[in-house]
Chain A
Amino acid sequence: MDPRQRPLLHRRLGVFKAMAWCLVATLILIYAWLQLVRHGEFKQLALQQAVKVRPIAAPRGLVLDRNGHRLVDNRRALHLVIQREDLPTRPEVVAALALALELDPVALARKIQIYRVAGKGRPLVLKENLDDAGIALAERVRARFPFLSVDVAPRRVYLGDELAGHVLGYVGEVDEELMKAKPGVFRLGETIGKEGFEASGNDKLKGVDGQKRILVDQLGTEVANFGQADATSGRSLFLTLDAGLQKVMQDAYGEEAGAAVVLDLRDGGILAMYSSPSYDPNLFLNRLSQEMVDRYLNNPTRPMLNRAIQGIYAPGSTFKLLVALAALEKGVATPQTVIYCAGKKNFYGRDFRCDKLSGHGGLSMVQAIAQSCDVYFYELASRMDVDDLYATAEKYGFTERTGIDLPQEKRTRIPSRAWKRKASPRDPKWYAGETISVGIGQGAVGVTPLGLARFYALLATRGKLLTPHLFYGFRGDQSNELEPAPVPPQKDTPLDPRNWAVLDEGLFEVMRSGTAQRSALKEITMAGKTGTAQVATFVDRAHYARQAKHLKDHALFAGYAPHEKPQIAFAVVVENAGFGADMAAPIAKKLVQYWFIDRLKNPLPPPRGRMVDPFAPVPEVAE
């Protein structure tokens, strides 16, 4: 090397060396800034993304029938969810996610926005109750959207499928409207009862969610658990329903539409309540498919309607008992009053016909009830004002809601002058002729099957006004036995025993010698009344008109059994089925037959352990 050059080169290499150390010093300063000055901030961020507080969903209580057979059970299910702190922000990510999961992008974006502002709580559920295909899809999609996770949470199983759909209802995620209507009551993403007893008994069934602090990795998988506050399950409870009787009722209806109720006369407990067509609550746990919407929500036969408490039917002849009672109390007739039936009678210039065109001849009140003579009751009605009928109905609790512990019960409609003024402002005047129709349970009268059953329960108990109910009691946490709940209030009404005796005899004669004698049982005495009513207004008449040339009448039957010492009261409505004696009374007969005879002969196997389905075939026991 040229000696002249060396000092210059060395000087420049010295500068290089200084620059190298400057670089090292600068890097050290940068790291000092991050690791010493801003350490706290980054430590917090690292903690935030690795340590998560996740809610633990509390299982709801089980629902058992009165004997402990499970009607509603819980199973573990997998849901595809986004935890609150992982909600995506970028609109294109949300859009891609919606596309991958076949969700509505607008609705999804909106939901994510709502969950983001709501803070901590249950995760946003994208797909619920994943089956094998769902799990495969979830795994595929998670590869692209690492913020998704799969959550294990209990799900409801309704063991009888359509057996008691309307009674049990179903659960779902609390919706926005409800949260707005009742601020502070519900938490976002909470599972609540939507329909039926799940809804009305929500406070009894729901548990308290727990929480856990966990360490997660970048995929959101739980790596370690730092401790948790366990969820408290909701309490399991018994309903007054008898699964066996309910099953008999379901089978009795088959394809027919209608509703039936059986009441326990001791306390007003509902032994069975079925509305046909029924629905399967299990299908409502997932988001509704179009097929489901068509099958249930857009179906003109309205399967979602609980006809037992929401169907308003003209009571037909079953209403005659109230007319008779009003006449006796008003004094316009006595039990001995005989009225001649010639097949029809003229009131206010119009002919009102009896069912029996040839006429019943002269009838006492008991005979008139037994033969269901219309002329007799036209005559009684003509001797009274409609407000007299209303007053009697009100006195015996017929005008109010029964107070059953189910949501959205409809009120029975008993007309009065005041009602007409309100209901028909264009023609507010009540015409006397209208009273004649009301006398045989037609015209403006409309009752729910439950309301009707309750009135017959009043007759069976000689004046006790029961509160029908489904809640029987909680299941003891230790004993697993029923802890009976207090019986809802019963009211005594001033039903004159002499008047009662006439009505009771009339109902007994219906079965012995009257319109329903073919439905009588040898072993058990019954008392009841048939009814045949014009098609009520809640269904689409045009639909039926398309289906059948003429509108068939609704068939009704209401009564109690055994006659001497009644234990149950019932009401049966079969829509568009024709005569009550032909269609409704046989169903009542089946119910009585099961309750008093078959049930005792062949009892259901007792519930034990995790035996869940009382209707599953009994496994063969090896000898």
Chain B
Amino acid sequence: MKDRVRALDPRLLWVILALTVLGTLTLYSAGRNTPQAAIWLKQSLWNFMGMALMLLLAATDPRRIFRHSFPIYLLGLVALVAVLVVGKKIGGATRWFVVAGQTFQPSELMKWVTLLYVSQRLGSRPADSVGRLELLGAVGLVVFPMLLIQRQPDLGMALSFLPILLLIPLMKGLRARWVIALLLLVTVGGFGAWKVALKPYQKQRVLIFLDPSSDLQGKGYQVNQSRIAIGAGGLIGKGFTSGSQTQLNFLPVKTTDFAFSVWAEERGFLGVLLVLGLFGLLLSRILDAAKAAHTNAEAYFCAGAAGIFALHLMVNVGMVAGALPNKGMVLPFFSAGGSSTLSFFLALGLIMGILHRSRVK
């Protein structure tokens, strides 16, 4: 046990603990005056379970995990197919398994599993000897689960797989023609998606993002109320459990997607600085782990993990401020939810394991 605790990287651990505490406090405040008053307790339970798993993984040799990444990936794909067949349909989407009254969302864990397996495949050889065909194969490994998830449908979740593709420029560098090709792909793909693939509610979201005031009673209502909450917080905030937007329930879905608005309203800009600073330290430390990693695969995993965390941070914090479309992407440590919490802690545990191995050697 002592060895295991020693395996925890203190610089990463303090950041994680701080964010977890702040997130739980936010949930306590957000749950007041709603039927979900006890949600902070439930989330604390998830947090404890997550930390226990993190502890376990941190003391495990990462190589053992990377070695089994292929069967894990296959298992994940099976889960994604299974959820489409036997999953529970909530609000028009089939994303959840129900086990003993608890819902579990396999796609949350799947993005880490995908990252793990792709890192393993690409990292098993020196970067300059990885051919284009292998890169294309890696892209396929990422896109296939994305397509399965989009079947649920869950666009936000599918998009959160994209940071895994950052591994390619990490290995090969950025070339001008690649950038141009990517921009072209995004433009054409975006137009095609708008015409063919996007569901009406998704189009609606984009339109409302472009002009939030066009629909103050409907879909734009959420973001509008969130912006009011954030703006009203000012420099020092309304005080803990004293935000009028939060406590009077003007702020919607405040225990999940809009949890950060609660924090911003009640703790103000200073609180926002604190949390964003902590997230900066988190990303920074994860990238340090990438540098310190012994193998390419471990380095790639850490880099990809930083990308995933960064994407969640960007989309959620940007979305609640009205700067990005309402995508429904959770904010780690703040948004309540079992699957996401456990997944984040598992990933952090693996990263700590990587850091630990780099230190002991």
Contacts and interface: CB of A to CB of B under 8 A. Distances in A.
Contacts of A35: 230-231, 233-235, 264, 268-269, 272
Interface stretch (A23-31, A108-116, A414-422): A23-31
Nearest to B229: A46
A49 B294 CA distance: 57
A496 interface: no
Nearest to B293: A1
Interface residues of B, number: 52
B232 A45 contact: yes
Given A9-B170, A20-B284, A31 B230 contact: yes
Contacts of B283: 17, 20-21, 23-24
B202 interface: no
Interface in B305-349: 306-307, 310, 313-314, 317-318, 321, 323
B325 to A, nearest CB: 14
B75 interface: no
A43 B126 contact: no
Contact of A24 (B33, B231, B279): B279
Q: Which of A28, A30, A35, A41 has the most CB of B within 10 A?
A: A35
Interface in B4-54: 33
Contacts of B318: 27, 30
Interface in B212-254: 217, 227-235, 244-245, 248-250
Q: Which of B227, B232, B235, B283 has the most CB of A within 10 A?
A: B232
Given A12-B169, A35-B272, A45 B228 contact: yes
A89 B214 CA distance: 12
Interface string B110-123: 00000000000000
Given A10-B291, A34-B230, A42-B232, A20 B306 contact: yes
A28 B234 contact: no
B321 A34 contact: yes
Contacts of B58: none
A42 B217 contact: no
A20 B33 contact: no
B170 A46 contact: no
B306 A34 contact: no
Q: Which of B128, B231, B296 has the most CB of A within 10 A?
A: B231
B295 interface: yes
A34 B303 contact: no
A242 B231 CA distance: 66
Contacts of A347: none
Contacts of A42: 227-228, 230-232
B221 to A, nearest CB: 10
A17 B284 contact: yes
Interface in A213-229: 215-219, 223
A38 B227 CA distance: 10
Contacts of B127: 2, 5, 8-9
A32 B248 CA distance: 24
A41 B232 CA distance: 8
A13 B295 contact: no
A538 interface: no
B235 A36 contact: yes
A522 interface: no
Contacts of A31: 230, 264, 269, 272, 276, 321
A219 B33 CA distance: 12
B138 interface: no
B250 A218 contact: yes
Contact of A2 (B126, B235, B248, B280): B126
Contact of A46 (B173, B244, B268, B290): B244
Contacts of A46: 228-229, 231-232, 244-245, 250
A42 B261 CA distance: 13
A30 B217 contact: no
Contact of B235 (A10, A17, A20, A39): A39
Contacts of A45: 228, 231-232
Contact of A43 (B128, B232, B294): B232
B273 interface: yes
A34 B268 CA distance: 10
A34 B277 CA distance: 18
Interface residues of A, number: 44
A370 B124 CA distance: 132
Contact of B217 (A13, A47, A88): A88
Contacts of A182: none
B299 interface: yes
B287 A13 contact: yes
A60 to B, nearest CB: 34
A45 B229 CA distance: 9
A204 to B, nearest CB: 42
A36 B231 CA distance: 8
A218 B321 contact: no
A1 B295 CA distance: 5
Interface in A227-262: none
A27 B269 contact: no
A28 B273 CA distance: 7
A50 interface: yes
Nearest to B298: A1
Contact of A219 (B249, B280, B303): B249
Contacts of B296: 1, 5, 9
A112 B28 CA distance: 40
A16 interface: yes
Nearest to B278: A24
A6 to B, nearest CB: 9
A620 B229 CA distance: 64
Contacts of A24: 276-277, 279-280, 283, 313
Contacts of A118: none
A41 B313 contact: no
Interface string A66-104: 000000000000000000000011100100000000000
B235 A27 contact: no
B228 to A, nearest CB: 5
Contacts of A43: 231-232, 234
Nearest to B323: A30
B296 to A, nearest CB: 6
A24 B318 CA distance: 10
Q: Which of A2, A17, A41, A49 has the most CB of B within 10 A?
A: A17
Q: Which of A32, A50, A215, A219 has the most CB of B within 10 A?
A: A50
A42 B277 CA distance: 24
B230 A27 contact: no
A27 B234 contact: no
Nearest to B248: A217
B303 A23 contact: no
Contact of A217 (B33, B268, B284): B33
Contact of A30 (B170, B248, B321): B321
Given A5-B128, A35-B272, A38-B231, A13 B291 contact: yes
A47 B244 CA distance: 8
A8 B172 CA distance: 10
A215 B242 CA distance: 13
A535 B279 CA distance: 95
Interface in A184-227: 215-219, 223
B269 A13 contact: no
Given A10-B291, A31-B272, A50-B248, A23 B228 contact: no
Nearest 10 A-B pairs (CB), nearest first? A42-B231, A46-B232, A20-B283, A24-B280, A217-B248, A218-B249, A35-B269, A39-B234, A2-B126, A50-B244
Interface of A: 1-2, 4-5, 8-10, 12-13, 16-17, 19-21, 23-24, 27-28, 30-32, 34-36, 38-39, 41-43, 45-47, 49-50, 88-90, 93, 215-219, 223
12 contacts: A9-B299, A10-B291, A16-B303, A20-B283, A39-B233, A42-B230, A43-B231, A45-B232, A46-B232, A46-B250, A50-B244, A219-B249
Given A9-B296, A21-B284, A30-B323, 15 more contacts: A1-B293, A4-B126, A5-B127, A9-B291, A9-B299, A10-B291, A12-B169, A12-B173, A23-B310, A27-B313, A32-B269, A34-B227, A38-B231, A39-B235, A47-B244
